[in-house]
Amino acid sequence: QVGESVADPLKYYRNNVAGAVSLVSAMREAGVDRFLFSSTAAVYGEPEETPITEESPLHPVNAYGNTKLAIETMLDDCRRAWGLRSLSLRYFNAAGATAAHGEDHRPETHLIPLVLDAAAGRRGELVVYGDDYPTPDGTCVRDYIHVRDLASAHVLALEKLAGGLSGAVNLGNGRGFSVLDVIRAAERVTGLAVPHRIGDRREGDPAVLVASSARAEKLLGWRRRLPAIEEIIGDAYAWRRRYPDGYPD
């Protein structure tokens, strides 16, 4: 959680950076020389241009992004020092669900499960943080990628990593959806109204965050199979109906 990382940075440095140092040290001792890393679009911070490519400047604006970038840097240093091969997969907004697995964060901070919970009456009205951004409908635009497409990218990345590929690739939808786009799509998918109101902007929210995944497509041979926001929301909704209370404690 980005906000938590700002409030408690040492927790994130201890878990992410110190944990990665321990893991890579154990890998070296065991003779393991390949590392597939779950990184994040947060390494880019507030982008200077859209879509975001892997050549875009890396300027994280919070401790979460800083720790992920620190690990990417460490992995590259280890490559030069002793030949560690690594691929850093920079996720954009992972969303959707499989039949067995869905989103159940506590507290929940991701837009799609919040929208679905609001539609189902499991929480109060959704707050849309600002409607005066320079976007088509005034609300922030984000890049949502189905978790099943993320999973397929991991399989391909493991194969390419074994073949010697290293570096970093973006994994995103390649197109953006505004907050209101998500709300309207959820209403179409569920047949339910999503109660919401417009609130003030949140500090640090960029207007648009959309990935270019051209490098992943070229280097990994990856193709998105489920890019439509209705498919992403539909799978998330099906999981939520199957597990209305989320995972058991």
| Mean pLDDT score, 54-77 | 95
Annotation says 64 is catalytic: yes
145, 92 in Cβ contact below 8 A? yes
Question: Can you tell me the distance from the alpha carbon of 111 to that of 95, in angstroms, rounded to the nearest whole number?
Answer: 9
Judge whether residue 157 has pLDDT over 80: yes
Rounded alpha-carbon distances, angstroms, from residue 6 to 2, 61, 63, 71: 6, 9, 6, 18
Q: What is the pLDDT of residues 17-41, one digit of tens each?
A: 999 999 999 999 999 999 999 999 9
What pLDDT digit, counting tens, does each position of 181-226 carry?
A: 999 999 999 999 999 999 999 876 888 899 999 999 999 999 999 9
pLDDT over 70, % of the chain: 100
pLDDT at residue 4 in the model = 87
Q: State the SS3 of the chain.
A: CHHHHHHCHHHHHHHHHHHHHHHHHHHHHHCCCEEEEEEEHHHHCCCCCCCECCCCCCCCCCHHHHHHHHHHHHHHHHHHHHCCEEEEEEECEEECCCCCCCCCCCCCCCHHHHHHHHHCCCCCCEEEECCCCCCCCCCCEECEEEHHHHHHHHHHHHHHHHCCCCEEEEECCCCCEEHHHHHHHHHHHHCCCCCEEEECCCCCCCCEECECCHHHHHHHCCCCCCCCHHHHHHHHHHHHHHCCCCCCC
Q: For residue 66, what pLDDT band results from cuts at 50, 70 and 90?
A: very high
pLDDT bucket at 12, cuts 50 / 70 / 90:
very high
Q: Which tens digit of pLDDT belongs to each residue from 99-149?
A: 999 999 888 989 999 999 999 999 999 999 999 999 999 999 999 999 999
Say which residue the tokens 């505004």 belong to: 178
- Report how far apart, in Å, the C-alpha atoms of 169 and of each of 21, 122, 205 are: 22, 37, 23
Active-site entry in 12, 13, 44, 64? 64
